[in-house]
Amino acid sequence: MGRILIQNGTVITMDPKRRVIKKGAVAIENDRIVDVGRAEALKDFQADTVFDARDRIVMPGLIDAHCHNVQMLARGLGDDVDLIAWCYDRIFPYETLLTDEATYLSALLCCVEMIRTGTTCVCDPGGYRMDNVGRALAETGMRGIIAWAGMDQWSDDRALPDGMPGKLSTEETLRVEEKLVKDWNGREGGRIRACYGLRVEPNVSDNLYRGINQLAKRDGVMVEMHAAVNKDQVEWVKKRTGHTVIEHMNSLGILGDHWYLIHMAVLTDEELRMLKANDCRVIHVPGATLHGAYGSATVGKFPELIDMGVTVALGCDSSAANNSLDMFRAMYEAATVHKEARIVPDLIAPEKALEMATIDGARAVHWDNEIGSLEKGKKADVIVVETRRSNWIPLHDFSLIPTLVYSGEGADVETVIIDGRVVMEKRKIKTVNVKSVLRRAQRATEKLVKKLPYKLQPKWPVE
Ligand SMILES: [Zn+2]
């Protein structure tokens, strides 16, 4: 902490005018940005630390609007299966076996990967043992929002493993979630927040919908939920309630701007209107739909949602469902998959993809008064991206944002500042010992995988 000046870089502000300042500078004092402008105008700022950002972009830290910290050790466990098998056969048994220590290591590894690729804020829909995730966010310096993935009903076709920590009654779920919000919302000087969460519709009763909705409104926080993820899930809800997913929530009278709805591949036009009318937040996870074939690209209505003015943010999901946590890749996917699916070359512009990963993400999590752009008075979540690299040259003013989205990658990120603290400098993470995290995570996972109720085999002989 202290006074930091980042100077001589190309500053992409993401402010309301979307100013880009060549030879720009950002001045930081403790956790706040105190000035943004031309380097010349800020040259007298007295700084303890000066970063020369020549041949670099200075921009807001990326916001991963959907990422499961607890699934980081499940990389490789969820490949090439449909959503139902992914959840109930592969990942829920994995989450059931997670110990406190394994959850903590999973989250540490997840934070390392996010910081390395320029993500400064994560919205985590939960799993369980979430105190360990909070602890990892606190220690690595990440900004984030955590939740408990609430569930209170299960059927034969959506059975939960015995001992799964989320397998609770309605009342127990409400109490455990209330406690998580009380314990974690506002921690670390406000850098960590907590909200309510529901896992996925087939495991949520109407009583739980109503109860969670009431608590979230009382506490002034959001409810995160995977919703309308694919056709199967929507058909299941329709059979059970007679309504599609958003119609059903609308019939319960609970929709509002606190609903934070993830994936949302299968929606009717009437549901789009309900989302708009209630200012619901929608989270697009293109990497997960490409990996798990949900339909978000083929039948999803993200271009329409964006045109209607619904807040659409961007997420990576998890290392078991994407499997990349690189938000640069997510921006690329958001700006390309719909073009291909509809054979229309200008559907979601790269500038829009960048908004989704920054200022729209901030709005989605109700934090845009403090993050999502580089503006005086906002929190200092800033990344420095190197552009004197073969994937960036040649670079023109007119191609700056398209190049960032179409050619940039997480590995281009050089320095990461979160809440005014330098957490990565010249690609070295300063808050944790990365080598030790990698070693411990690999060891913990090998132990866990042996206990899984299924065995995966390589397709090719491994000698
Ligand atoms: Zn998810």
Comparing 3-60+372-429 with 62-364, is the CATH topology the same? no
pLDDT of residue 320: 97
Domain residue limits, the chain: 3-60+372-429, 62-364
Looking at residue 157, what is its pLDDT? 84
CA of residue 93 to ligand 1 center, whole Å: 16
CB neighbours (10 Å) of residue 449? Answer: 17
- For 239-267, the pLDDT digits (tens) are 999 999 999 999 999 999 999 999 999 99
For residues 409-418, average pLDDT:
98
CA of residue 287 to ligand 1 center, whole Å:
11
Ligand 1 centroid–CA 49 distance in Å is: 38
What pairing do the DSSP bridges indicate for beta strands 119-123 and 62-64?
Answer: parallel
Q: Which residues, 6+ apart, have CB-to-CB distance to 286 below 8 Å? A: 296, 297, 314, 330, 333, 334, 337
Residue at token pair 């845009």: 368
Print burial letters for 208-230: b (CB count within 10 Å at least 16), e (below 16): bbebbbebbeebebbbbbbbbbb
CA of 444 from ligand 1 middle (Å) equals 22
> 200 C-alpha to center of ligand 1: Å?
9
From ligand 1's centre to the CA of 66, what distance in Å?
Answer: 6
Instruction: Measure the CA–CA gap between 371 and 33, rounded to whole angstroms.
Output: 10
Whether residue 1 is predicted with pLDDT greater than 90 in this model: the reply is no
Rounded Cα distance between 128 and 147, Å, is: 9
- Centre of ligand 1 to C-alpha 429, Å, is 26
Q: Tell me how far the alpha carbon of residue 282 lies from the centroid of ligand 1, in angstroms.
A: 13
DSSP string, 329-347: HHHHHHTTHHHHHHT-TTS
State the amino acid at position 269 in one-letter form.
Answer: D
Cα(86) to ligand 1 centroid in Å equals 11
Is the separation of the CB atoms in 65 and 403 below 8 Å? no
Alpha-carbon span 89 to 83, nearest angstrom: 10
Q: Is 220 helix (H, G, I), strand (E, B) or coil?
A: coil
Q: What is the pLDDT of residue 89?
A: 95
Which CATH superfamily is 3-60+372-429 part of? Answer: Urease, subunit C, domain 1 (2.30.40.10)
CB atoms closer than 10 angstroms to residue 48: 10
Pair 224, 125: CB distance under 8 Å: yes
Token pair belonging to 142: 């990440």
Which CATH code fits 62-364?
Answer: 3.20.20.140
pLDDT at 196 over 90: yes
Mean pLDDT of 267-273: 98
Distance of CA 223 to the CA centre of its chain: 14
284 close to 296: Cβ distance less than 8 angstroms: yes
Taking residues 83-91, report their average pLDDT: 96
The predicted pLDDT at position 252 comes to 98
Amino acid identity, residue 152? D
pLDDT in tens, 133-169: 999 999 999 999 999 999 999 988 888 999 999 999 9
**CB neighbours of residue 163 within 10 Å:** 9
Q: From ligand 1's centre to the CA of 285, what distance in Å?
A: 9
Q: 58 alpha carbon to ligand 1 midpoint, in Å?
A: 30
**For 155, phi and psi rounded to 5 degrees?**
-120, 170
C-alpha 141 to ligand 1 mean position (Å):
22
Q: How far is the CA of 318 from the centre of ligand 1 (A)?
A: 7
Q: Give me the pLDDT at residue 159, please.
A: 86
For residue 44, report the distance from its CA to the centre of ligand 1, in Å.
46
| H-assigned helices in 141-285 | 170-184, 206-219, 231-241, 245-251, 269-277
Contact 419, 28 (CB under 8 A): no
Cα of 130 vs centre of ligand 1, distance in Å, is: 15
Q: Strands 143-146, 119-123: parallel, antiparallel or unpaired by DSSP?
A: parallel
Whether 183 contacts 131, CB under 8 Å: yes
Query: Is 350 in a helix, a strand, or coil?
Result: helix
CA 449 to ligand 1 center in whole angstroms: 21
Cα(38) to centroid(ligand 1), Å: 40
Say how many Å lie between the CA of residue 274 and the centre of ligand 1: 23
Q: Is residue 255 within 8 Å of 274, Cβ to Cβ?
A: yes
List of residues 6+ apart from 156 with CB closer than 8 A = none
* pLDDT(402) > 80: yes
